[in-house]
A = this chain, B = another copy of it.
């Protein structure tokens, strides 16, 4: 019989993040994560395929946030503005969970294979955003370009935000980065 553990997923995630920061991602075992969370390894594997998955378990939610942001834009919004709205939505959520987001970013930045996984995740999100734009009647290549450019804006603003904890907020950096994209594309 499986014993129900209250908020097992959240406890495992919290324990894993703490251990990754304390000891480095490579050094941490699933057994240690489970122990820190006061749970069994078996419980861990009910929620995550491996320790790396703890870092990427939120990826579906992240993608859904972008896609629903695009879908929720007014019909009259230009493609890039629909994408911009989704970026601001993500920025608000990130700002509300700033400590966790920064901790996760630091763990990922320290490991080339995690950086690659993150890059692949962002490419998947860009493809989903392009699909959402097509769903709004945007043709190609405009849909792909707005999605790819929007994700590039997000990645660049996010990197800058992570690099300067005392600097401007993420939404502000996204706004500046969007302005810069307009200027760059216009050949300025």
Contacts and interface: CB of A to CB of B under 8 A. Distances in A.
Interface of A: 78-81, 116, 119-120, 123, 140-142, 144-146, 148-149, 152-153, 155-157, 160, 176-177, 180-188
A141 B123 contact: no
Which secondary structure dominates chain A's binding surface? helix
A79 B177 CA distance: 15
A152 B149 CA distance: 7
B188 A78 contact: yes
Closest 5 pairs between A and B when the two form their complex, measured CB to CB: A185-B185, A148-B152, A78-B187, A146-B184, A141-B156
B188 A149 contact: no
A163 to B, nearest CB: 11
A30 B157 CA distance: 44
Pick the most buried of A78, A81, A157: most chain B CB atoms within 10 A of its CB. A78
Given A144-B152, A148-B156, 18 more contacts: A78-B184, A79-B184, A80-B185, A116-B120, A119-B120, A119-B123, A140-B160, A141-B156, A141-B177, A142-B183, A142-B184, A144-B156, A146-B184, A148-B152, A149-B149, A149-B152, A181-B185, A185-B185
